[in-house]
């Protein structure tokens, strides 16, 4: 366990502004938020391209502009999306925005994600007891994942592995045996609550089920998010267990805390971690913990 804690700001995902108006959509808004989160102690920024009305935006131009803008402001590590269910294309197409980003150092990210399995991600409506969607599958075939791993290695990026449930972790272990995933592996346990049933619930038991099944003989650094649930209810447990924290308005509006900004949420986590004896990892310390190398610009 590292005593420094890696804090990632998950600034927007596909969240709308109905419960918290501070969700950033456009490049200038994301750049401003990433810098503010960095100033509070976050060392990784994760974001999704969005249009002015909040709809998903997959144009590579969006990512180039946003990455370059953040790079110009601060050294926070960049972790863009491959599009989640909003980009249900083949492996090459899903990775194409990263290929564009890798053409210049100023736009290159530090991580590329691999969600190591597939899940139904329909929106459950707990009030009405029905599903609001019935055909959303977040599909990541083994062949697609191996393609991503190959391109990530080619560019010298760090794999950002996402585990939605224990079967994903088992596939991570298999990929480690095959050499597809190098050590240390950086794994996000994506807990889910509310309208999303695809992950383990955002409870101590939901998290324990994940950590129980981590392969003991492998070097794995783990972090936790709670998609559509309040991660602050679990952060003390995560800090004490030696885990890392990935949090932000993308996952949950935190309206019960007075509609905070992303930076205010990061500040809350930093204060709690410090009180429990763990300082936030700087960008350089995060790179050391995850043994990140130099990226290869395509040129
Ligand atoms: Zn995301």
Instruction: Give DSSP secondary structure letters for 30-68.
Output: HHHHHHHHHHHT--EEEE--B-TTS-B---HHHHHHHHH
Q: How far is CA 125 from CA 196, 199, 201, in A?
A: 9, 16, 16
* CB proximity list for 217: less than 8 A, separation 6 or greater: none
In this structure, what token pair is assigned to residue 123? 């929106």
Regions in the chain scoring below 70 on pLDDT: 1-2, 84-88, 299
> What are the C-alpha distances in Å from 86 to residues 56, 58, 114, 142, 204?
7, 9, 15, 19, 30
Q: Where are the beta strands (DSSP E) in 31-173?
A: 44-47, 77-80, 111-115, 119-120, 124-125, 130-131, 137-138, 158-163
Domain locations along the chain: 7-289
CA distance 247 to 188: 11
Expressed in angstroms and rounded, the spacing between residue 112 Cα and the centre of ligand 1 is 11
Question: For the domain 7-289, what is the CATH code?
Answer: 3.20.20.70
Q: How far does the centroid of ligand 1 lie from the alpha carbon of residue 88, in Å?
A: 14
What is the model's pTM?
Answer: 0.96
For residue 114, whether the previous peptide bond is cis, meaning omega lies within 30 degrees of 0, is no
Q: How far is CA 45 from CA 65, 67, 100, 265, in A?
A: 15, 10, 19, 13
Q: Chain centroid to CA 7: how far?
A: 11
Q: How far apart are CA 19 and CA 158, in angstroms?
A: 33
DSSP assignment letter at 73: H
How many whole angstroms from 48 Cα to the centroid of ligand 1? 6
Residue 279 CA, ligand 1 centroid: distance in Å: 25
The pLDDT score that the predictor gives to residue 299 is: 58
296 Cα to the center of ligand 1, angstroms = 24
**Spatial contact of 253 and 10, defined as CB atoms under 8 Å apart:** no
Specify burial of residue 15 (Cβ count, 10 A radius: 0-12, 13-18, 19+): buried
Biggest CA-to-CA distance, the chain: 53
How remote is the CA of residue 79 from the centroid of ligand 1, in Å? 9
Distance 233 CA to ligand 1 centre (A): 21
What is the 295 CA–ligand 1 centroid distance (Å)? 22
What pLDDT sits at residue 298?
Answer: 74
Q: Which two tokens stand for residue 269?
A: 């986590």
Residue 292 CA, ligand 1 centroid: distance in Å: 21
Cα-to-centroid distance, 59 and ligand 1 (Å): 16
Q: Ligand 1: distance of its center to the CA of 271 in Å? A: 25
Q: How far is the CA of 285 from the centre of ligand 1 (A)?
A: 23
């Amino acid at each position: 366990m590292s005593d420094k804690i890696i804090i990632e700001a998950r600034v927007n995902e596909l969240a709308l502004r109905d419960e918290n108006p501070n969700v950033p959509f456009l490049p200038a808004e994301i750049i401003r938020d990433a810098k503010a989160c960095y100033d509070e102690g976050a060392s990784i920024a994760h974001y999704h391209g969005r249009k002015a009305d909040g709809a998903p935006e997959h144009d590579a131009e969006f990512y180039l502009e946003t990455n370059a803008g953040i790079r110009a402001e601060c050294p926070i590590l960049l972790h863009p999306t491959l599009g989640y269910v909003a980009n249900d294309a083949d492996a090459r197409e899903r990775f194409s925005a990263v290929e564009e980003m890798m053409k210049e150092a100023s736009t290159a990210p530090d991580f590329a994600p691999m969600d190591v399995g597939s899940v139904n991600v329909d929106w459950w409506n707990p009030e009405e007891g029905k599903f609001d969607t019935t055909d959303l599958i977040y599909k990541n075939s083994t062949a697609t994942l191996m393609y991503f791993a190959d391109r990530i290695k080619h560019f010298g990026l760090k794999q950002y592995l996402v585990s939605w449930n224990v079967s994903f972790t088992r596939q991570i272990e298999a990929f480690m045996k095959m050499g597809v995933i190098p050590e240390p592996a950086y794994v996000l346990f994506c807990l889910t609550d509310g309208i999303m049933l695809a992950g383990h619930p955002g409870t101590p038991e939901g998290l324990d089920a994940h950590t129980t099944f981590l392969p003991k003989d492998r070097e794995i650094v783990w972090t936790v998010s709670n998609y559509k649930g309040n991660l602050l209810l679990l952060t003390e447990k995560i800090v004490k267990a030696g885990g890392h924290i990935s949090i932000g308005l993308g996952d949950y509006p935190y309206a019960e805390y007075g509609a905070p900004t992303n930076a205010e949420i990061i500040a809350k986590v930093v204060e709690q971690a410090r009180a429990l004896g763990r300082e936030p990892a700087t960008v350089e310390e995060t790179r050391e913990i995850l043994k990140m190398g130099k990226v290869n610009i395509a040129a």
